[in-house]
Amino acid sequence: MLKMLKKFFDFCSEKNRNKFYLSVFLSVVDALFGALKIPAAFFAITAVLSKEINAKDFIIVIAFMLVSTVGKMVVNRFSQMIQTEAGYDTCCLKRIEIGEHLRYLPMGYFNETSLGHITSVTTNTLEQMSDIAVRAIMLVLQGSITTCVIAVGMFVFDWRIGIISLICIGIFMLVNTVTNKKIAKVADEKIAADREMVGVILEFIQGIAEIRNYNIFAQNSSRVAGSVERKKNADITAETTAIPAVGFQMLICKISGVLIAAASLYFFFTGTMELNYLITMLMASFMVFEALDSAGIYTALLKVIGRGVDLANEILSIEQMDVNGEDIKPDNRDIHLEHVSFAYENRKIIDDVTLDIKEKTTTAIVGSSGGGKTTITSLIARFWDVDEGEVTLGGRNVKDYSFDSLMENFSFVFQRVYLFEDTIANNIRFGRPEASMDEVIAAAKKACCHDFIMSLPEGYDTVVAEGGSTLSGGEKQRIAIARAIMKDAPIIILDEATANVDPENEKELTEAIENLTKEKTIIMIAHRLKTVRHADQIVVIDKGRIVQKGTHEDLMREEGIYKNFVSGRKKAVSWKIA
């Protein structure tokens, strides 16, 4: 238990940890105030038995009771306030810390780690930590401290009863340790089921269009139902494992109270304990394990809490890319890859690539799917770090740059555009948050999206659904281009930006891209011939290697993948339905 408590306190920030330490100290004070009821009862019983009740005895008893009741009430209220504040603040800061940590992780992490896992940790797990966990931990601590204080106080009245109390506490702790080990096994199953359920539901929601398109509701619904069923069974297993364990701990507490009462009666009847001490010990036998009994109920949660801390720390322990470089403003934006190789999960994706991309030129990267086109652009922008070789920008290794200063040089327009659940104006402003409304409108006009934005119910103040699902693909693309225009970075990376655009939007999108790419360094990944044929250089990638490089005219004069690519496209265009 102490190990778990230390793990939780280490998990907290220093400010909140100090608040919890203060709360622990207040728990001791609270226990002392509670223990004052025993001497109050002792004085009252002694006075009654002596039949010599006087004003002084009456005042002493009332004073003890008043100090005990008022002191406990005030301390307990203040303690709960700082516990609650520290708990919510801890989880708030952890969510922010995880978000900042994810920002500088290699993109490969997000490929191998389910969205459900990250979502489950940052929502369900931390929500439990901020509410149930803090309450459980402090009740366990407070109950343990109260019991120990009362047990130690018993030594003042009778050392024999004090020893019996400590032995009973030791037995309780032993039983608690054994039951917690049993509970730990089902705690992992409960958390794993929770993570799986969140992931499956998110996947179902995100893929709802494909599910509806292919009419595969049955198997996908059964998969969601199965994950919910497993979550239900894991919760039931956790409860059915914890309830008997907690019940046994409560039984130990009750039996311990009976033992203290029985021992006190024995000592009285053998003439080694006076009647006033007997009555006081009988009262104390009901009090000493009362708080520990309540604490025992929550000890079952400690392993779940500990696992939650581990899950959050697992994310935070993933090694970040070294982003603490210099804030560099390069003299030029020439890009150079020198013998670059990169592997993912022991599979080599880029193999000994050397490439020059001059400033303010257009480079088109073509090749079959899975050949490594997107990976090359990711290495240039340092979404991943190369395994071998180096990537330079303006003559400096991209690793020399601080991540933020490196990102100032790049704007991206991807095939799949993500818009945030916010106004259209703010989605455009992500390129430059401080931009004025006039600047937002100017960028939208260059991106050829001003007209359709103005046709929306609230214009630029229209809130789009998460992911931009309320807009068409072409509309989302043009807003993404407006965002990139707003950022005004010198290097533009276009990853299949026009691949899935309908003919009605293609003209506006092409014009928007032309406005975006004026006087810029352009790196484009594309399958359309008319998109790449005017590039300053075309790079053909096959199985992670550059197999051809040159202008359209150069590559058309030699046999190879590019010429076959062009011929295949021309045949496809000439096809007609008879």
Query: Tokens 């993933």 correspond to what residue?
Result: 318
10-residue block means of pLDDT along the chain (578 residues)? 75 84 82 79 78 71 82 83 83 85 74 63 76 73 78 83 86 78 72 75 67 60 80 80 76 85 90 87 80 70 75 82 82 91 84 91 85 87 88 91 87 78 87 86 86 88 74 81 85 72 62 76 78 84 88 86 74 47
Give the per-residue pLDDT at 108: 62
Q: Which two structure tokens, joined as six digits, stand for 362?
A: 């257009």
Q: How far apart are CA 237 and CA 232, in angstroms?
A: 9
**Residue 469, pLDDT score:** 64
- pTM of structure: 0.62
pLDDT at 391: 93
CB atoms < 10 A from the CB of 147, how many?
26
- 169, containing H or E segment: helix 159-206
Identity at 215, one-letter amino acid code: N
Which pLDDT value is given to residue 564? 81
State the Rg of the chain over Cα: 35
Structural domains of the chain in order of their starting residue, each with its CATH number = 2-317 (1.20.1560.10), 335-572 (3.40.50.300)
Residue 386, helix vs strand vs coil: coil
Three-state DSSP string of 106-154 = CCHHHHHCCHHHHHHHHHHHHHHHHHHHHHHHHHHHHHHHHHHHHHHHH
Q: Token digits for 195? A: 């993570």
User: Under DSSP, is residue 361 helix (H, G, I), strand (E, B) or coil?
Assistant: coil
Q: Which residues pair with 355 in a beta bridge?
A: 337
Q: Give residues with Cβ within 8 angstroms of 415, minimum separation 6.
A: 495, 496, 497, 499, 500
The pLDDT, as a whole number, for residue 506 is 61
Q: What are the residues whose beta carbons fall under 8 Å from the beta carbon of 247, sequence distance 6 or more?
A: none
DSSP string, 238-255: HHHHHHHHHHHHHHHHHH
d(CA 168, CA 98): 43
Q: What are phi and psi of 538, to 5 degrees?
A: -115, 130
Structure tokens at 117: 């896992």
Question: How crowded is the C-beta side of 419, counted as CA atoms within 13 Å?
Answer: 29
Q: Is the dihedral of CA 464, 403, 118, 21 positive or negative?
A: negative
What b/e sequence results for 288-323 when a residue is b if at least 16 CB atoms lie within 10 Å of its CB, and e otherwise?
bbbbbbbbbbbbbbbbbbbbbbebbeebeeeebeeb
Which two three-digit tokens encode residue 264? 């006190």
Residue type, 94: K
Instruction: Tell me, rounded to whole angstroms, the distance of Cα 34 from its chain centroid.
Output: 40
Instruction: Give the pLDDT of residue 292.
Output: 73
Residue 108 CB contacts under 8 Å (≥ 6 apart), including other chains? 344, 384
